[in-house]
Chains A and B, each alone.
Chain A
Amino acid sequence: MAQEIKSITLVAPAFKGINTEDSPLAQDPSFAESADNAVIDKRGRIAARKGLSVLTTDKTELGTGNLRAIKEFRDNLGNTKIFSVGNNKILSGTTVLADETPGSYTITSDNWKIVNFNDNVYFFQRGYEPLVYNNTGGAVVKLSTVAGAAGVVAAMYGNEVLAAYGRLWTADFTTDKSTVYWSDLLIGHDWTGGTSGSINLSKVWPDGFDEIVALSAHNNLLIIFGKHSIVVYEGADSPATMRLVDTIAGVGCVDRDTVQYTGTDVLFLSQTGLRSFGRTVQEKSMPMSSLSGTITTDIIRLIRETGEIFRSVYHPEESFYLITFTNQAITFCFDVRGTLENGAYRVTRWPGTGFTCYGRKDNGDLLIGSRFGIGQYTGYKDNSLSYRFKYFSPELTFGDASKLKFLKRLRPTLVGGSGANAIFTWSYDFGTLFSSAEVGIRSQGRSDFNLSEYPVYSELSGYGISSTGDVDIGEVVVVNKFLGDFTSAPTIGSGGGALLEGDSYFDTAADIFYVYISSAFVDLDTLVPASVGEFSDGELVSRNAINANGSGSTITIGLEADINGHELSIQDINVLALIGKTL
């Protein structure tokens, strides 16, 4: 007897991100079992993340080490300088990493925290005398060498530093885990004079004992994160009179570098997952509303790794919060545009990126530290190499897990991915043996998804000629000077006149774009654009159908693709399945 082929469309699959907490059978198809190197794009689709465009060309000082922190120094005069740390050195610059470590200052660890404060940038690490840099001095120096420095002693060599309310605040010392020191007003090198002071929290912890991990400032509050509790002081602009307004027991912070201020809230990683300070205060540590509620088990397992180095960043331009477990090479990307029904952020996973620290520049650029030096979150290659975007759905039952399904056809709607090969996989009944089919996505041509460009060549701009096209695939059209397609070099210019500088043609035989420069046609690929502008010129949409096979009561569908210069997102997946007998 003929059976009905049932068409089910998974619209914007995985737009709710990963969910490894709920039962696979009961899951909404909008979740994903796996979403690697993915983000939730601005249209709510799961898409490949951007890549790492390495800016550093000379990382001699970094050697084989990893960068562990990046900070952009800015002062009131507009001076800027990028500082980073790695290979037991204080480094500066992006293209060439220069050693800024003070003389006679030995560093054996790179767990620095760097903050800007009052035209200075300060470096704090437990057990190390703090360092400071300003544009006037032009060199990183030990804090005690600054004129007027006071109280710079080993007792205040904290691991955590916060610039807030006109002061520097430091905590988490080698032998003292309960004291917070604050500097004199606007004087980051005076820790014993003026209105400087300290507070010992040993009698304040709600659970009787805790250790300070991190500090944060929000809404005129000084938030002190312990490992297992949080205490909140208000009136920190006058620390001598600031008073305790809230304590939260049972929720703490695992690491200083997981705390990020989002403008309206403070995000931090607790022992049970990502938390929002605002919501934690409201809910008084109720565990059910963790912002990482869909990956709680996974994240707890990662947190428990001994000696883990955490790094995080909040990037409002991309609307995500990244938390990286550097030793385990796992990054979780939390989309902060909104939350799910259970209060969790939509989350995706970036495995094996090699990202080891982050820094957001004032202009919104997201800098990423790695063993390659400093890079920028842009483009769709990781240091010129591809990376794999992976999506796997949860077990799909098509409404009835008791009936047999015969998967007939998959018809995904993919956006972007020009020239990439997308590999679709499927398996039945929780199996790990996947069937697969590869789909080649056509090259976009002149109009790439969200990537049409205006490459500016210095050789052409000198002639007043602009150009457009995809640099990566060599498609450049020189506006107003394009002579046409030829199988060999033309000898006559536009309008029958002589060839002029900047004239161009496309050699259809050799598949090369030539530009007439200095009385000779030059392969455009040999030129390097000075800059590339972009414009939106439509999207590449692929709707290739894949014939599938096999049967089972539940189905898992996956997509893997190497991202190699082009964005790729999944708009939907249409599944045609024959519904069989009841098992």
Chain B
Amino acid sequence: MDLKEILESIGGAGNAVNTAAALGLGTAGLALAEKGYSDLGDIGERAYAGLAGEGGLAEQLRGMLEFQPYTVTSATGGQFGMTQDPTTGQMTYQMATSPEEQALQQQTLANAGMFFNQAAMPVDQREQDIFQRMRTAMSPEEERQRLEMEQRMAAQGRLGVRTAQFGGTPEQLALAKAQEEARNTAMLNAMQFAGQEQQRQAQLGSGMLASGYVPQAQLLAALQPGMTAAERQRQSLSEQAGAYGQTYASGLQGLLSSALGQANIAGGVGGNITRAALGGLFG
């Protein structure tokens, strides 16, 4: 609502000038008031332009707060980089471990694959292999026991004893039973060991697999401080932009306040003149 309309509201439609004139000095006052009023509009315009207009605070802040590409390099040489396509604005991050880490990773992953392959193999052959190794370890002692038994039997003249009850002599049966039990135990142990070994290989594969990703994980872990630092930087920039904006806004606020004050003064003076000029008119 402009002043005219206001005056028409006061003096009726089409009567603003009349009203103003009627008011005598009221018109000057009103003009002054209108100027103050207009100044307030200018001030708003200026505030808008200063804050959101071209080259205004918002634009400046946008420039200040734009993404800053960064790269993090770990202590072992791994790198993580974050870039933005200047054209499309698409964000791209790149992560690369060091050649040594890559080699280690490849090795461990290969090992993991090997262990997993081994774990996936049928265990019967492995059982047989383990059993054979156990038998190889046991055989010398068994041979010593056999020879000892043979010597004892020979000394006792009993090498040729064959019985329906024991097959040979009771001692020979006991030794054979012991050796057979040891053989059976070895076989069961081989089966158990092969199963355990299969589990262990799976575990090793898992471990190796996990180890294969350790450089990457460590690189990612190493990103944290870098990202923190970038965040800090971003925060700093943000704070800086904030402070700039705040300061800018404060300045603008001051300017607007000053202009508002001026407008208020002009308005007040105009009002008072008007009230004084029109006081009799309405009084």
Contacts and interface: CB of A to CB of B under 8 A. Distances in A.
A244 B158 contact: yes
Interface in B142-193: 154-166, 169-170
A197 B165 contact: yes
A318 B166 CA distance: 46
Contacts of A239: 161, 163
A200 B168 CA distance: 11
A178 B160 CA distance: 10
A137 interface: no
Contact of B156 (A184, A193, A244): A244
Interface in A224-246: 231, 233, 239-244
A443 interface: no
Contacts of A203: 154, 159-160
B264 to A, nearest CB: 132
A202 B160 contact: yes
A240 B166 contact: yes
Max chain B Cβ within 10 angstroms of own Cβ: one of A192, A193, A242, A247: A242
A202 B154 CA distance: 11
Contacts, number: 60
B164 A197 contact: yes
A435 B269 CA distance: 207
A195 B160 contact: no
A476 B239 CA distance: 166
A213 B160 CA distance: 18
Contacts of A399: none
A436 interface: no
A199 B158 contact: yes
A231 B162 CA distance: 18
A298 B231 CA distance: 129
A377 to B, nearest CB: 40
Interface in B54-85: none
Nearest to B166: A240
A412 B264 CA distance: 194
A479 to B, nearest CB: 67
B163 A197 contact: yes
Contact of B164 (A193, A233, A247): A193
Contacts of B159: 200, 203-204
A198 B157 contact: no
B164 A179 contact: no
Nearest to A180: B160
B165 A243 contact: no
Nearest to A201: B160
A203 B158 CA distance: 9
A125 B159 CA distance: 27
A307 interface: no
A220 to B, nearest CB: 16
B181 to A, nearest CB: 21
Interface string A68-97: 000000000000000000000000000000
Contacts of A197: 161-165
B157 A233 contact: yes
A201 B157 CA distance: 7
Nearest to B162: A198
Interface residues of B, number: 15
Contacts of A243: 156-158
A199 B160 contact: yes
A244 B162 contact: no
Interface residues of A, number: 25
A244 B160 contact: no
A194 interface: yes
A553 interface: no
Contact of B165 (A194, A200, A233, A247): A194
A247 B157 CA distance: 10
A240 B170 contact: yes
A243 B154 CA distance: 10
A243 B152 CA distance: 10
Contacts of B155: 244
A270 interface: no
A204 B160 contact: yes
B169 to A, nearest CB: 6
Contact of B170 (A179, A201, A204, A241): A241
Contacts of A247: 157
A509 to B, nearest CB: 80
Nearest to A198: B162
A436 B164 CA distance: 70
A196 interface: yes
A184 B162 CA distance: 13
Contacts of B160: 178-179, 198-204
B156 A194 contact: no
Contacts of B162: 197-200
Max chain A Cβ within 10 angstroms of own Cβ: one of B154, B162, B164, B166: B164
B163 A195 contact: yes
Contacts of B169: 240-241
Max chain A Cβ within 10 angstroms of own Cβ: one of B157, B162, B165: B157
B157 A244 contact: yes
A197 to B, nearest CB: 3
Contacts of A200: 159-162
Nearest to A246: B157
B164 A195 contact: yes
A195 B165 contact: yes
A192 B156 contact: no
Contacts of A178: 160
Contacts of B163: 195-198, 239-240
B98 to A, nearest CB: 75
Given A240-B170, A241-B170, A231 B165 contact: no
Contacts of B158: 199, 242-244
Given A241-B169, A244-B156, A199 B164 contact: no
Given A240-B169, A241-B169, A241-B170, A198 B156 contact: no
A495 B256 CA distance: 201
Interface string A176-194: 0011000010000000111
Contacts of A195: 163-165
Nearest to B156: A243
Contact of B161 (A194, A231, A240): A240
A196 B166 CA distance: 10
Contacts of B170: 240-241
A156 to B, nearest CB: 12
Contacts of B156: 243-244
Nearest to A193: B164
A233 B169 CA distance: 14
A199 B157 CA distance: 9
A198 B154 contact: no
Contacts of A242: 158
Contacts of A198: 160-163
Nearest to B164: A196
Contacts of A202: 160
B143 to A, nearest CB: 19
22 contacts: A178-B160, A184-B164, A192-B164, A194-B165, A196-B164, A197-B164, A198-B161, A198-B162, A199-B157, A199-B158, A199-B160, A199-B161, A199-B162, A200-B161, A201-B157, A231-B157, A233-B157, A240-B165, A240-B170, A241-B170, A244-B156, A244-B158
10 A-B pairs with the lowest CB-CB distances in the bound complex, closest first: A244-B157, A200-B160, A197-B163, A243-B156, A204-B157, A240-B163, A199-B161, A196-B164, A203-B159, A198-B162
Given A195-B163, A203-B154, 6 more contacts: A178-B160, A197-B163, A199-B157, A200-B161, A204-B159, A240-B163
